Structure 1
Amino acid sequence: MVQISVIVPAFNEEERIAHTLKAIRSLPFSLELIVVDDGSDDNTFSIANRYADEVIQLKENQGKGRALEAGFHKGKGEYILCLDADLGSTAKEAEALIQPALLAEADVIVSKVAPGKKAGFGLVKKRAQALIFEKTGVKLEAPLSGQRIFHRQWLPCIQSIHSARFGVETEMSIRFLEAGAKILEIETKMQHREMGKSIKGLWHRCKQLLDIERYRKEV
């Protein structure tokens, strides 16, 4: 069995995905690299094909949640590692998540941003934290982090996720915790492409907030 399946959902990431995938390839583990191209209209698919073991191409943009699901169905590894496509060279920091997972220090290992680093807008983070706490009694420091690894035994509890798009990490954390998983958050140097308070950044956070609130109403 492959040791680790790395699932990378990607939408219009032609500028950074090559750097991300090369960094993942440098990790000293037996892994299969699966990219899910979520309906990109740029060169994401062709670039990903140069580095990935498999590229799943969704015909239209379905959202991060659906892209991850497609990757989960394909992954054959004992562990599932989810990484965002815009991490660039910092994706190599995933080794800090992998080691404690292999040592069974927790069931789910999640990357959190080091103190002093930008981690998005506070409102969305607080709403996600509040929802997770409301459902499970656990307060997470990085409720929106897409960088996480878990043993495939936990896959059944995140099948048929409600959150098609940006609420997926919050829902996954809730489902893991409700199933009895222990989540360990670890500081890493992994960094997204910064959007700051640009229109694009604001729109991204608005969509995250809407998806979290939508999931809150559904459950």
Structure 2
Amino acid sequence: MKAMILAAGRGERLRPLTDEMPKPLIEVGQTSLIGHHLNALAAGGFEDVVINVAYRGEQIVTALGDGSAWGLRLHYSRETPGELDTGGGVRRALPLLGDAPFALISADVFTDYDYARLRDRADADVHCVLVDNPAHHEHGDFGLVDGRLIDRGPRLTYAGIGVFHPARFAARETQRFALSAVIREALDQGRASGEHHRGAWIDVGRPSALEAARRTAVRG
């Protein structure tokens, strides 16, 4: 199974840190935010990782190189900043991802989730990891009953971690669309599964969250 990391965002809420540096390269503990994902993917048995880049993307390419420092093979999908949104970014990267379901991870999160678990979902159509609702998203995204996503409460928050079949993106007629549109389509068709991760998870979108992630990294 291949994996993809979404790393094309601007990181507006972390300015001025992101004025000169893309958010995935911000240090959290002894490595960058995206470096934590690469370490976890390597530990989880992944070998090929696609990373989409846009805002200051060449800094990411230069910093990570071919991935050999992590024992990985990295492949880059370059975008124009703000052009494609999350779902469109995946669609652009499909030639690098192939025809089988792939793991999809947002570079914006910091977590102790075991990415090896995603490899057990190699036959998934759409599978989403959910977490308890953070304070800034208290109403959540999806319900979860018997391992299936539902559109009613009580709701949990999508963790930015999942497994997706590439056909879900290839079938979209527009270039720009959100990942949530793909998830909701699968949910409406009864094809979206999920699991509840109860361990560490932080959406590193605000300065306070970045500091919390740094404290967690030091303890870990």
TM-score (norm 2): 0.63
- After TM superposition, give the deviation of residue 49 of structure 1 in Å: 2.5
Are residue 109 (structure 1) and residue 131 (structure 2) matched? Answer: no
Query: Aligned AA for 1:160?
Result: R
SS, match of residue 67 in structure 1: helix
* Structure-2 residue corresponding to 1:216: none
SS, match of residue 60 in structure 1: coil
Are residue 97 (structure 1) and residue 138 (structure 2) matched? Answer: no
Q: Residues 96 and 174 (structure 1 numbering): CA distance in 2 closer, same or farther, change over 3 Å? A: same
* Structure-2 residue corresponding to 1:23: 40
* Structure-2 residue corresponding to 1:36: 52
Distance 2:100 2:2 in 1: 7
Question: For 1:154-184, what per-residue CA distance to the aligned partner results, in whole angstroms no more than 9, with x for missing partners?
Answer: x33333276946xx23211111123441412
* Structure-1 residue corresponding to 2:65: 49
- After TM superposition, give the deviation of residue 107 of structure 1 in Å: 4.1
Are residue 72 (structure 1) and residue 94 (structure 2) matched? Answer: yes
* Structure-2 residue corresponding to 1:149: 163
Gaps of 5+ in 1: 131-135, 201-219
Q: Residues 64 and 40 (structure 1 numbering): CA distance in 2 closer, same or farther, change over 3 Å? A: farther
Let me know the Cα RMSD of the aligned residues. 3.5
Distance 2:180 2:52 in 1: 20
| Alignment: residue pair count | 176
Asked if the contact 2:129–2:159 (Cα under 8 Å) also holds between the matched residues in 1, the reply is yes
Pick one of 73, 80, 85 that aligns with 1:59: 80
Q: Would you tell me which structure has more helix in proportion to its own residues?
A: 1
Query: Aligned AA for 2:42?
Result: R
Query: Aligned AA for 2:168?
Result: C
Query: Aligned AA for 2:82?
Result: N
Asked if the contact 2:128–2:162 (Cα under 8 Å) also holds between the matched residues in 1, the reply is yes
* Structure-2 residue corresponding to 1:176: 186
- After TM superposition, give the deviation of residue 41 of structure 1 in Å: 5.7
SS, match of residue 96 in structure 1: helix
Asked if the contact 2:61–2:76 (Cα under 8 Å) also holds between the matched residues in 1, the reply is yes
SS, match of residue 17 in structure 1: helix
SS, match of residue 145 in structure 1: strand
Asked if the contact 2:113–2:197 (Cα under 8 Å) also holds between the matched residues in 1, the reply is no
Q: Structure 1 vs Structure 2: percent identity of aligned residues?
A: 12
Distance 1:196 1:145 in 2: 16
* Structure-2 residue corresponding to 1:138: 151
Query: Aligned AA for 1:94?
Result: Y
Question: For 1:125-169, what per-residue CA distance to the aligned partner results, in whole angstroms no more than 9, with x for missing partners?
Answer: 3xx559xxxxx963373454321113x3xx33333276946xx23
* Structure-1 residue corresponding to 2:138: 122
Asked if the contact 1:38–1:57 (Cα under 8 Å) also holds between the matched residues in 2, the reply is yes
Q: Residues 118 and 182 (structure 1 numbering): CA distance in 2 closer, same or farther, change over 3 Å? A: closer
Are residue 82 (structure 1) and residue 82 (structure 2) matched? Answer: no
- After TM superposition, give the deviation of residue 84 of structure 1 in Å: 1.1
Distance 2:64 2:204 in 1: 22
SS, match of residue 7 in structure 1: strand
Distance 1:14 1:129 in 2: 30
Query: Aligned AA for 1:93?
Result: D
Are residue 6 (structure 1) and residue 12 (structure 2) matched? Answer: no
